[in-house]
Amino acid sequence: MHPQTLRAGRRHPTRAARKFSCLAVAVAVVSLGATAPHPEAGAPPGKSPVAVGYGGAVSSVDADASAAGIEVLRNGGNAVDAAVATAAALGVTEPYSAGIGGGGYFVYYNARSHRVQTIDGRETAPHSADSSLFLENGKPLAFADAVTSGLSVGVPGTAATWDSALDAWGSKPLKTVLKPAERIANDGFTVDPTFRGQTQDNAARFADFPATAKLFLPGGQPPTVGSTLKNPDLARTYRELGRQGIGDLYHGALGRDVVRTVRHPDLAPGSTRDARPGDLTADDLRSYRALHREPTKVSYRGLDVYGMAPSSSGGTTVGEALNILERTDLSKATQEQYLHHYIEASRVAFADRGRWVGDPAFESVPTRELLSQRFADSRACLIKDDAVLTSPLAPGDPRHPAACAAGGTAAPTTYEGENTTHLTVADKWGNVVAYTLTIEQTGGSGMAVPGRGFLLNNELTDFSFTPADPAVHDPNLPGPAKRPRSSISPTIVLDGGKPALALGSPGGATIITTVLQTLIGHLDRGLPLVDAIAAPRASQRNAATTELEPALYDSPLRSRLESLGHSFKLNPEIGAATGVQRLPDGRWLAAAEPVRRGGGSAMVVHPAGRP
Q: How far apart are CA 137 and CA 323, in angstroms?
A: 44
Beta strands 228-229; 588-592: pairing state? unpaired
Question: 358 vs 62, 313, 473, 487, CA distance in Å?
Answer: 32, 8, 11, 11
Residues 58, 603: contact at Cβ < 8 Å? Answer: yes
- Dihedral (CA of 413, 417, 419, 423) sign: negative
Question: 556 vs 335, 389, 552, 596, CA distance in Å?
Answer: 11, 22, 8, 23
Q: Name the H helices within 288-357.
A: 314-325, 335-356
141 φ/ψ sector (left φ>0, alpha ψ -120 to 50, else beta): beta
420 catalytic? Reply is yes
Q: How far apart are CA 492 and CA 508, in angstroms?
A: 19
First to last CA, the chain: 36
Beta strands 601-607; 538-539: pairing state? unpaired
Q: Around 430, how many Cα atoms within 13 Å sit in the side-chain half-sphere?
A: 15
Identify the DSSP state of 581: E
Instruction: Please pick, among 158, 194, 317, 420, the residue that the annotation labels catalytic.
Output: 420
Q: How far apart are CA 592 and CA 140, in angstroms?
A: 39
Could you please report the per-residue DSSP string of 236-296?
HHHHHHHHH-THHHHTSHHHHHHHHHHHS--PPTT-----------HHHHHT---EEEPPE
Q: Cis peptide leading into 392, omega within 30 of 0?
A: yes
- Could you give the residue numbers annotated as active site? 420
